[in-house]
């Protein structure tokens, strides 16, 4: 069941929040001036938002949720479902969505669920919350999607340090029988589970004293077993090979033409990948917005962040057909086509 349709659900608003603390890739001491020039041009990333120790993904998402609930003038008691998508939750257990229910002051009858997903997480999360709301006719729901990947990267891993940046987002959804259907195409590529992985800290490789040792890898890289490990070229090849057919299948399933889509919002992996996908689909540049230069790769948050920073005009997205495509950790990928009827997007929040 790769492709499916969800009826009666409309997006009402999207808000995003980033740490105010900013790091510049031009300051990275691993690289010569020449290397930096090439790195920044290829990745398209100049700045990264790095969370401070007291800022977790939940904090960024909650700031976005509070602002959005206020702008939409929603009554918190009406919110009956909350889905939190992240790979950097507050604790191993309990799931962060429960604590978020309490911190946001939502009703105890609100269903709260965590989903462990990353770069494709916005599409996965949207598919879960919209299915639930549609099936149970739930009036209002919140999808919180965000990560603080900078917290799990080795400071001595120059292969991934220049990429990742932190962000939390909230999307507000409503049951509406007038809404146009949301279309999904999702696929699982679990045989490559270790292409992006934090090896230690779960049941398979519990934390031991050895986990605290820095280990040396090719290319002068050092990391611990509970740091993020990424097989860059494998993930790059996966993105180049799988994403375009996934999108083309979804467009065929929608019975629409490629041209009927107003924006293609790709997971902001890096500029080379986003540009290559745009070229393979033969898209005009303005249809594939890019937020990498200022905000880097924000994992699960990159699609909603890009909608807020690069698609919204005067804090709104009105009457647009938008395709999202997320791909990465899992490995997993998914695309969705959503009609944005009238979606409120408050200004980006910068958390001190």
Partner 1 sequence: MRDTSLERFLFLMRELFKEHNRGLINENTDLQELEEWSSLQIMIIVSEIDREYDVLISADEMRGITTIAKLYDLVKKKTN
As measured in angstroms, the least distance from the Cβ of 45 to partner 1 is 12
Confirm or reject binding of residue 234 to partner 1 (CB under 8 A): yes
Confirm or reject binding of residue 272 to partner 1 (CB under 8 A): yes
Nearer to partner 1, 104 or 230 (CB): 230
CA dist 87 and 228 (Å) reads 11
Stretch of 139-147, 186-194, 226-234, 255-263 lying at the interface with partner 1 (CB under 8 A): 226-234
**Of the candidates 236, 244, 262, 320, which one interacts with partner 1 according to CB under 8 A?**
236
The pair of structure tokens assigned to 154 is: 């080795």
Confirm or reject binding of residue 35 to partner 1 (CB under 8 A): yes
Which residues fall within 8 angstroms of residue 251, CB to CB, at 6 or more apart? 257, 258, 261, 323, 337
Confirm or reject binding of residue 282 to partner 1 (CB under 8 A): no
| H/E segment holding residue 40 | helix 33-43
Q: What is the DSSP string of 74-113?
A: --GGGEEEEEEE-SS-S-SSS-HHHHHHHHTT--TTSEEE
As measured in angstroms, the least distance from the Cβ of 314 to partner 1 is 37
Nearer to partner 1, 105 or 232 (CB): 232
Nearer to partner 1, 203 or 219 (CB): 219
- Residue 293's CB is within 10 A of a number of other CB atoms, namely 14
CA dist 97 and 115 (Å) reads 9
Please identify which residue in the block is written with the tokens 């429960």. Answer: 98
CA dist 141 and 12 (Å) reads 10
Nearer to partner 1, 6 or 269 (CB): 269
State the Rg of the chain over Cα: 19
As measured in angstroms, the least distance from the Cβ of 211 to partner 1 is 25
**Of the candidates 105, 155, 202, 232, which one interacts with partner 1 according to CB under 8 A?**
232
CB environment 116-152: b (16+ within 10 A), e (fewer)? ebbbbbbbbbbbbbbebbbeeebebbbbbbbbbbbbb
**Of the candidates 7, 26, 38, 260, which one interacts with partner 1 according to CB under 8 A?**
38
Beta strand ranges found along 237-278 (DSSP E): 263-266
Confirm or reject binding of residue 216 to partner 1 (CB under 8 A): no
**Of the candidates 26, 279, 319, 342, which one interacts with partner 1 according to CB under 8 A?**
279
**Of the candidates 256, 276, 310, 321, which one interacts with partner 1 according to CB under 8 A?**
276
Confirm or reject binding of residue 268 to partner 1 (CB under 8 A): no
Contact predicate 145/169, CB 8 Å: yes
Confirm or reject binding of residue 159 to partner 1 (CB under 8 A): yes
Nearer to partner 1, 194 or 259 (CB): 194
Which chain residues interact with partner 1 by CB under 8 A? 34-35, 38-39, 42-43, 159, 219, 231-234, 236-237, 240-241, 272, 276, 279
């Amino acid at each position: 069941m790769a492709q499916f349709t969800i009826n009666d659900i409309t997006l009402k608003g999207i808000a995003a929040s980033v740490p105010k603390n900013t790091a510049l890739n031009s300051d990275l001491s691993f690289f010569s001036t020449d290397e930096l020039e090439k790195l920044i041009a290829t990745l398209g990333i100049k700045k990264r938002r790095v969370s401070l120790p007291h800022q977790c993904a939940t904090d960024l998402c909650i700031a976005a949720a509070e602002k959005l609930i206020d702008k939409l003038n929603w009554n918190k008691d009406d919110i009956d479902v909350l889905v939190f998508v992240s790979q950097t939750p507050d604790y191993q257990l309990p799931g962060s969505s429960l604590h978020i229910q309490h911190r946001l002051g939502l009703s105890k009858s609100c269903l709260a669920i965590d989903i462990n997903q990353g770069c494709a997480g916005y599409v996965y999360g949207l598919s879960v919350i919209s299915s639930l709301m549609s099936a149970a006719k739930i009036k209002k729901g919140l999808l919180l999607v965000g990560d603080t990947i900078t917290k799990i990267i080795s400071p001595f891993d120059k292969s991934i340090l220049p990429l990742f940046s932190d962000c939390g987002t909230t999307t507000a959804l409503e049951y509406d029988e007038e809404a146009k259907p949301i279309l999904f195409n999702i696929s699982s590529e679990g045989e490559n589970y270790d292409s992006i992985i934090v090896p230690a800290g779960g049941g398979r490789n519990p934390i031991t004293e050895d986990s605290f040792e820095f280990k040396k890898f090719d290319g002068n890289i050092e990391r611990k077993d509970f740091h993020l490990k990424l097989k860059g070229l494998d993930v790059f090849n996966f993105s180049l090979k799988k994403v375009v057919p996934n999108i083309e299948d979804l467009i065929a399933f929608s019975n629409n033409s490629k041209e009927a889509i107003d924006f293609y919002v790709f997971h902001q992996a890096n500029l080379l990948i986003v540009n290559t996908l745009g070229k393979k689909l033969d898209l005009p540049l303005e249809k594939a917005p890019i937020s990498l230069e200022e905000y880097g790769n924000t994992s699960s948050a990159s699609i909603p962040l890009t909608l807020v920073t690069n698609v919204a005009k005067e804090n709104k997205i009105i009457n647009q057909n938008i395709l999202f495509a997320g791909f990465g950790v899992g490995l997993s990928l998914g695309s969705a086509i959503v009609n944005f009827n009238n979606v409120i997007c408050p200004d980006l929040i910068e958390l001190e």
